[in-house]
Amino acid sequence: MRIMQFRYKGRSLVGSLKGDELTLFAIQDGLVSYIQRGITPQLTSERVKLDEVEVLPPLLPKKIVAVGRNYAAHAEELNHEVPKEPLLFVKLSTSVIGDGQAIRWYPDVTEQVDWEGELAVIISKTAYRISEDKAMDYVFGYSVANDVSARDLQDKDNQWIRAKGLDTFCPLGPMVVTKSEIDDPHALMVTTTVNGEQMQHASTGNMIYKIPALIAYCSQAFTLQAGDVILTGTPEGVGKAQTPPRFLQHGDTVAVTIDGIGTLTNPCEMLG
Q: 6-40 pLDDT, tens per residue?
A: 999 999 999 999 999 999 999 999 999 999 999 88
Q: pLDDT value at position 138?
A: 98
Instruction: Tell me whether strands 229-231 and 64-68 are parallel, antiparallel or unpaired.
Output: parallel
Q: Are residues 10 and 74 in the same domain?
A: no
Q: Domain with 263 in it: what CATH number? A: 3.90.850.10
The torsion defined by the Cα of 124, 100, 182 and 176, in degrees rounded to 10, comes to 20
Q: Domain total for the chain? A: 2
| One domain, residues 163 and 221 | yes
Q: Are residues 75 and 112 in the same domain?
A: yes
Q: Does 167 score more than 90 pLDDT?
A: yes
Number of Cα atoms under 13 Å in the Cβ half of residue 84: 0
Same domain, 182 and 48: no
- The reported pLDDT for the residue numbered 52 is 97
Same domain, yes or no, for 163 and 238? yes
Q: Give the range of the structural domain holding residue 163, as residue numbers without chain letter.
A: 64-270
Both 254 and 127 in a single domain?
A: yes
For range 65-81, the mean pLDDT: 96
- Amino acid in position 254: V
Do you find a cis peptide bond into 41, omega within 30 degrees of 0?
no
Listed residue (264, 52, 236) closest to 168, CA to CA: 264
Q: Are 175 and 141 in a shared domain?
A: yes
pLDDT greater than 90 at residue 245: yes
CB 87 within 8 A of CB 217: no
pLDDT band at 113 (very low <50, low <70, confident <90, very high): very high
The one-letter code for the residue type at 114 is D
Q: Of 55, 77, 93, which closes a domain?
A: 55
247 and 143 assigned to the same domain: yes
What is the pLDDT confidence band of residue 192, given thresholds at 50, 70 and 90?
very high
- Residue 263 pLDDT class (50, 70, 90 cuts): very high
The DSSP H or E segment spanning 75 is: helix 72-77
130 & 169 share domain: yes
- pLDDT of 39: 85
Answer yes or no: do 14 and 146 share one domain: no
> What's the average model confidence in pLDDT over 123-141?
98
DSSP codes of every residue in 15-35: EEEETTEEEEESS-S-HHHHH
Question: What mean pLDDT is reported for the chain?
Answer: 97
Percent of the chain exceeding pLDDT 70 equals 100
Q: What is the mean pLDDT of residues 170-199?
A: 98
pLDDT(141) > 90: yes
Same domain, 21 and 148: no
pLDDT at 41: 87
0.75 exceeded by pTM: yes
Same domain for 185 and 231: yes
**pLDDT of 264:** 98
17 and 3 in contact (C-beta within 8 Å)?
yes
**Cα separations (Å) of 127 from 32, 47, 159, 216?**
16, 35, 26, 8
